[in-house]
Amino acid sequence: MDDLQFEGFTLYRSHLKKRCSEYALVLQAVGIRCEVLPLEGEFALFVPAQDAERAQKQLEFYVHENRVRSPRFDPRLGVDDGLKCACLFGVTILLMDLLQRHQAFSLDWWEAGKSHAGLIQQGEWWRTLTTLSLHADPVHLTGNLVFGVLFGFLAGQRLGWGLAWSGMLLAGALGNALNAFIQAPGHMSIGASTAVFATLGMLASYIWKQRQDRINRWVPVGSGIALLAFLGMGGERTDIFAHFAGFGAGCLLGALFGFLGNRLEFLVRHQLALGLAATTLFAVAWLLALLTHG
């Protein structure tokens, strides 16, 4: 390709070789010769002069399609964000379980934080959040911890830790609120399972929203429903409707995040703001619970 260096046309320049290589693959896929070479401290994409106009149109079309179809989340999302979200969930659940079991500060955390349909209907909205961190026994705790960490990790990878963590809490709270207004006033429930299944629904609908293939796009939703049926309907003390309500709330949020991802640019600072806001809301919910009934 030495001839390109002397007779070629510089189609694109960038400090990122990865971006130049990406565009080179696009052109090669439609039969346009090209090469990525260093140029004045940057990287340049060269094409033969006679192909320059066609190559430019192909890249413009490619960039336009990706702006329309691809989520504009920060490209640095990945394992780190997944680990942050999973750790936030795990640490929160374990810490709250420790405080509850030892009745820290001589407070009745269980009574103050459990979901009570009648009290939620009367305006104690914070119970929809606080109940997510209470568990009846180690088996209940372990199950929610394992699946919550797993789904939280996957959601963090896809959405970023801040959006995923806030989505887990918000969808879990919405599921508990819906459950409270459907059930009789005396109905009570506890556990993070509503948030766990909300995260599953959020993942399924977000992936569904991003997929373009009409056949394969329904696979995530079908898989989510299958997991919900397998994991969410067992046990004599299982609040089945809360699980379905959480899954449904998660599906709504996941679809919303998929819609917004094509129109808004979520950067690192946005993830931090969302994560801090969700954690603060959770702390405020517990503060109100303890001040009211502790």
- Taken in order of first residue, the domains within the chain and their CATH numbers are 2-69 (3.30.70.1530), 79-293 (1.20.1540.10)
**Which pLDDT score is estimated for 61?**
85
Give pLDDT tens digits for 31-46.
889 999 888 878 888 9
Whether pTM > 0.85 for this model: the answer is no
CA distance 26 to 9: 17
- Nearest CA to 162 out of 286, 278, 280, 254 is that of 278
If you search the block for the tokens 């009409």, which residue do you land on? 214
263, two tokens = 């129109």
**Which pLDDT score is estimated for 70?**
45
Give pLDDT tens digits for 43-62.
888 999 888 889 999 888 88
**Which pLDDT score is estimated for 260?**
79
Answer yes or no: are the C-beta atoms of 161 and 271 closer than 8 Å.
yes
**Which pLDDT score is estimated for 238?**
66
CA distance 14 to 72: 20
**Which pLDDT score is estimated for 76?**
47
Low-confidence ranges of the chain (pLDDT < 50): 1-6, 68-76, 213, 215
CA distance 79 to 196: 19
For residue 158, give the 3-state DSSP assignment. Answer: helix
**Which pLDDT score is estimated for 220?**
53
**Which pLDDT score is estimated for 49?**
86
Strand partners, 37: 44
Collect all residues with Cβ–Cβ distance below 8 Å to 228 and sequence separation of at least 6: 197, 200, 201, 243, 244, 247
CA distance 127 to 129: 5
